[in-house]
Structure 1
Amino acid sequence: MPFLTAPNWQISWTPLLVLGYLFYLLLGAMVFQLLEKQAETHSRDQFHLEKLKFLQNYRCLDRQALEQFIQVLMEAWEKGVNPERNSTNPSNWDFSNSFFFAGTVVTTIGYGNRSPSTVAGQVFCVFYALFGVPLNLAFLNQLGKGLNAHLITLERWVQKPGHDQVVQRLAVAVFLTAGTLLFLVFPPLVFCYVEGWSYGEGFYFTFITLSTIGFGDYVVGANPNKHYIPLYRSLTAIWIVFGLAWLALVFNVGADLMEKFLQLKWHKPDLSLSEGAPTKLEDEPEQPRIHIPT
């Protein structure tokens, strides 16, 4: 475990990391509450106001009957049934939609806008995820190894004699930029055209999906007023799989950089070691230390 060391005391950075993580969660909670609570309250008040206006205009309706009807609508939405759809609209469980749903299961994205409602479907979903999630992890691991191998090859190439630091940085920048354009920048343009979203909404959906957060507030192919080509959601599922591998590689690189930062690899040499005292620094290179002079 890395330490910050002084002549008479040691401090482990692990508790500091835990405290920093908890502080980050608390900060996010406060910011989200500040940004979203007022809007939620406004929407709730607006809903109750519109319901009262509806009852005033249609006095023959009973309040209890209206509440029951609203409950039926909410249950329908929770089961993925759109009340606006009729029998002529495409099924929520056609092959394209089912393929997309299977992809969200094994990748653990789980948007939450669609789920099996039959007992048989639920049981199958459990066993499908039980074997599918490890299979997906193994596939992404191999795909990530392939991407990492290309990155290592690129790193070795740029480190050849005659390649200065500017060329090295440019090569790495090209590698990261190509993945960013392919998986984060260009897909939102497609979603803007097909779904009618703004670019910000499309980019938000792209990152939330590839990071497997999957809130479910934006889902492709879910607008009942649009006609989608059958392969649209299937192609989206394929894009998600390869995008997951790329973003996981980026996250791993970021985690390595953060770990190196926390381990303080740029430690200053201990001046007392040069006075002839034996040391185990060469035997334990994985535990760098910083010596703070007094």
Structure 2
Amino acid sequence: MLWKSIGILFVVLAVYILLSATVFHFLEQPHEILVKNLTRDFHMEFLRKFPCLPQDELEVFVQRVLKSYDMGVVATATKTSETNWDFASSFFFSATVVTTIGYGNIAPNTLAGKIICIFCALCGIPLCTVFLAAIGQKLRFPITKLQEKMITGRSHRVLRCVKVCLCVVLGSTLLIFLPSVMFTLAEGWHYGVSVYYSVVTLTTIGFGDYVAGVQAVPYRDLYRAVNGVWVVLGLAWVALIISEMTGDINDKIVKNEMRCSKSVSETDRKDKEHEMTSLDTESIENVLVK
């Protein structure tokens, strides 16, 4: 790819990020300030109702609760969270590591667990990438067949655009909008939140503000297993879309490289012909001189 094209892409990406940051700034900061004020007011009202409780001890209590919550543990007098490290949850965590989702709601706390996590990531991420690419190739086959039935006799670029559109529409329906119905029913989320969770997960952003299967739901192990299968298929679909969308760029790069190699070969051939012509001319001149 030419440096000019890279520069244009960089400018477009930078402008896109700046615009997104501006929107997030004006949407989220007022809500954050409101929550801070309400929390501070609740804190002061609590201290006024219970003046016998020292403020510094309350602060220690809140910090301990927050620290436990950051570790994925909720343990109060009336509520205890489900374990995060039963086999199903551990399997789910390992899947989030090798797929680079990394929700962040749970993480290993022991030194041995952190070391195992390192090896799990270093060996599992390349293996998972190859596996997802293979699954993506299998998903491409039915899309290609459907594309051939819908449209024929068009240029390669038109066919590629049709294939990308089919991938986006069918994949979004089967892997985002329909699974979001399941999350809405199982987790009690708003449907928009479920769609948000699906997109954040399948794009491997994984903020961790919403994680399926954390709450105690019926058939929790089976639910998490189905969720794992959905993650694998969804990531393969995203990889397929990226591959198809970058196909034209890769083709252009290959064509430019072939064009450059042909021009270099042509230049070398002309140089050799020029050298041969010069040698022949010198030979003829030497013969004439003799």
Distance 1:160 1:37, change over 3 A: closer
Q: C-alpha displacement at 1:135, in angstroms?
A: 0.8
Matched, 1:22 2:14: yes
Which structure's relative contact order is higher, taking Cα pairs within 8 Å and 6+ residues apart? 1
Deviations 1:61-114 (A, max 9, x none): 001000001110011011111124889864221111111111101001000001
Hey, what does 2:96 align to over in structure 1? 104
Distance 1:89 1:72, change over 3 A: closer
TM-score, with structure 2 as normaliser: 0.77
Matched, 1:40 2:32: yes
Contact 1:221 1:228 in 2 (8 A): no
Distance 1:160 1:115, change over 3 A: same
Matched, 1:195 2:184: no
Matched residue SS, 1:109: coil
Contact 1:105 1:129 in 2 (8 A): yes
Contact 2:202 2:235 in 1 (8 A): yes
Q: C-alpha displacement at 1:180, in angstroms?
A: 2.2
Aligned pairs (5 A) from 1:229-240: 229-240=220-231
Contact 1:155 1:168 in 2 (8 A): no
The answer for unaligned runs of 5 or more in structure 2 is 264-290
Q: Which one-letter code corresponds to 2:225 in the other structure?
A: S
Contact 1:108 1:133 in 2 (8 A): yes
Q: C-alpha displacement at 1:203, in angstroms?
A: 0.5
Distance 1:127 1:282, change over 3 A: closer
Aligned pairs (5 A) from 1:165-244: 176-223=168-215, 226-244=217-235
Hey, what does 2:45 align to over in structure 1? 53
Matched, 1:246 2:237: yes
Structure-2 separation of matches of 1:185 and 1:173: 16
Matched residue SS, 2:112: helix
Q: CA RMSD in A?
A: 3.3
Aligned pairs (5 A) from 1:6-17: 12-17=4-9
Distance 1:13 1:66, change over 3 A: same
Name the % identity. Answer: 36
Aligned length: 256
Distance 1:44 1:237, change over 3 A: same
Contact 1:158 1:168 in 2 (8 A): no
Structure-2 separation of matches of 1:47 and 1:210: 33
Matched residue SS, 1:214: coil
Q: Which one-letter code corresponds to 2:198 in the other structure?
A: T
Structure-2 separation of matches of 1:35 and 1:48: 21
Distance 1:146 1:234, change over 3 A: same
Structure-2 separation of matches of 1:51 and 1:108: 38
Query: 109, 118, 133: which one pairs with 2:125?
Result: 133
Q: Which one-letter code corresponds to 1:110 in the other structure?
A: G
Q: C-alpha displacement at 1:48, in angstroms?
A: 0.9
Hey, what does 2:62 align to over in structure 1? 70
Matched residue SS, 2:232: helix
Structure-2 separation of matches of 1:230 and 1:136: 22
Q: Which one-letter code corresponds to 1:249 in the other structure?
A: L
Contact 1:154 1:172 in 2 (8 A): no
Structure-1 separation of matches of 2:218 and 2:89: 13
Contact 1:210 1:240 in 2 (8 A): yes
Structure-2 separation of matches of 1:168 and 1:90: 47
TM-score, with structure 1 as normaliser: 0.76
Distance 1:168 1:18, change over 3 A: closer
Hey, what does 1:273 align to over in structure 2? none
